[in-house]
Amino acid sequence: CWPDRPWTYWAFGILAAAMGIEQGYEAFGLYFVRYLSDEADGVHYSGFVAGVRSLASCVTVTKDIQAWSGDLPWMTGYFSVGVWTSIWLASAPLPGLAETPLAPRRLPPRLGMP
């Protein structure tokens, strides 16, 4: 059960919940509001192929923070906490291995292989 687990299980659960909250904020608090505003303004959306083409080019180049300040909270979380969490998860030991993430043991050979 959870109370008997090491702190890393709790940390993972808390991080997963925090990422879920962040994704909800991003989807509904940021982009859904923009979508509704665009719908009210009668914005016409590109088709799939035209949208992919527009991804390959930069429409607006700016260093003004006001242009992307609404995206600042999720970008900060994604490019800092998200990256460090990915590194942390990538260094976790495989189930059943007693070694630490920084000193992994050699994995057993596959069946039929030396």
Q: What is the mean pLDDT of residues 63-79?
A: 82
Helix (H) or strand (E) holding 55: helix 48-55
Q: Identify the pLDDT of residue 107.
A: 56
The whole-model pTM stands at: 0.46
Residue for token digits 């962040």?
Answer: 22
3-41 pLDDT tens trace: 777 787 788 888 889 888 888 888 888 889 889 999 999
Q: Identify the pLDDT of residue 43.
A: 92
Is 47 or 111 the better-scoring residue by pLDDT? Answer: 47
91-107 pLDDT tens trace: 766 665 555 555 555 55
Using an 8 Å Cβ cutoff, are 70 and 30 in contact? yes
Q: Identify the pLDDT of residue 24.
A: 87
